[in-house]
Homo-oligomer: A and B are copies of this chain.
Amino acid sequence: MTEQGTERRLGWLGTGRMGSELVLRLLTAGCDVAVYNRTKAKAEPLTAAGAKVVDSAAELAAADIVFVTVGTSQDLIDALTGPDGLLSGGAAPSIVVDCSTISAEASRQVRQQLDARGTTLLAAPVMGNPKVAAAGGLTLAVSGPRDAFDAARPYLGLLGAGATYVGEGELARIVKLCHNLFLGVVIQSLSEVTILAEKSGVSRQALLACLNDSVMGSAFTRYKTPALVNLDFRATFTAELLRKDFDLGLAAARERETPMPVASLVHQMVQSLVGHGYGQSDFAALLTLQAKSAGLDLVSENAEVSDGLGPDDTNGANNAVR
């Protein structure tokens, strides 16, 4: 990677759980990274790994490329163009890479405001959760001007398992929505077949082991397996957040006159999940609804199952005979 160069000055705005994991990856690769977080204490631990923690967002403006990971569209607008924001000091970086999940509309607005300051926005939503990021499995879809992508490439590659340029403007936002619609359908289908197997006498652990090892297995099916086997529905991604992505994804589909019968049905089931009181649970609790509909009382299998994210995991290609 050295031949592509990692010598640019980088800034990172927002060091929550996801942001911290990604900054660590850059630091480990030898990058020069200044970081800012509203609650400074959350950024401090990165000092040990070599980060320079600064006191204001504006201080990051001296960097060539500033990455952002914040929560909502409004957070992004505040962090960049607000009174205490990145651009508040007069300086501006060449490129801002936004890794947050925000709407296409907000992204368009931010892009215009940055353009007016000579800064190029790359929309670069990430796919995967912080644990995946820590394991190096996170990927990004990136949209915006191609030359900005080329300039940011070496650093995007360091963030995880791959970054794909998908086109101009806000297209990466659509790709992220496609990803999450697909994810929602997959977890519902996994729930359906897991309950069918269980009612037939096959343990959830055995069924999921088979699927994970098979051509259908993915990092996702593997890292949701512990939740489905042991009924641990503490949220990595809540049902309400998934519902929001389905709201946005199906609205985009409607705007483009694209019917999505299966995604649409799953949307309704996620809404049912919320109605049944699981709004703050992990979306994998869809398994619970499915079990109730089949007249089945679920109990944890209390089994030791890998989430496939450990250092020794070989992405399922383990020739297991068990």
Contacts and interface: CB of A to CB of B under 8 A. Distances in A.
B321 A156 contact: yes
A128 B196 contact: no
A259 B249 CA distance: 17
A259 B269 contact: yes
Kindly name the residue among A183, A185, A214, A256 whose own CB sees the greatest number of chain B CB atoms within 10 A. Answer: A214
A317 B132 CA distance: 13
A36 interface: no
A312 to B, nearest CB: 14
Nearest to A175: B210
Nearest to A129: B215
B164 A178 contact: no
A216 B262 contact: no
Interface in A172-216: 174-175, 177-179, 181-183, 185-186, 188-190, 192-197, 199-203, 206-207, 209-211, 213-216
Contacts of A32: none
A161 B293 contact: no
Contact of A215 (B137, B206, B263, B320): B137
Given A269-B259, A295-B276, A167 B321 contact: no
Contact of A127 (B171, B179, B214, B266): B214
Contacts of A12: none
Nearest to A197: B178
Given A193-B182, A259-B294, A275-B292, A216 B220 contact: yes
B174 A214 contact: no
A254 B271 contact: yes
Interface string A95-124: 000000000000000000000000000000
A322 B162 CA distance: 8
Contacts of A207: 166, 175, 178
A219 interface: yes
A265 interface: yes
A77 to B, nearest CB: 23
A2 interface: no
What 5 A-B pairs have minimum CB-CB distances, sorted nearest first? A178-B193, A272-B293, A275-B295, A162-B213, A185-B189
Given A174-B197, A262-B266, A271-B293, 11 more contacts: A166-B202, A166-B207, A171-B200, A185-B189, A188-B262, A214-B219, A215-B218, A258-B275, A259-B268, A259-B290, A275-B295
Interface of A: 127-128, 132, 137, 139, 141, 153-154, 156-157, 160-168, 171, 174-175, 177-179, 181-183, 185-186, 188-190, 192-197, 199-203, 206-207, 209-211, 213-221, 223, 247, 249, 252-254, 256-269, 271-272, 274-277, 290, 292-296, 315-322
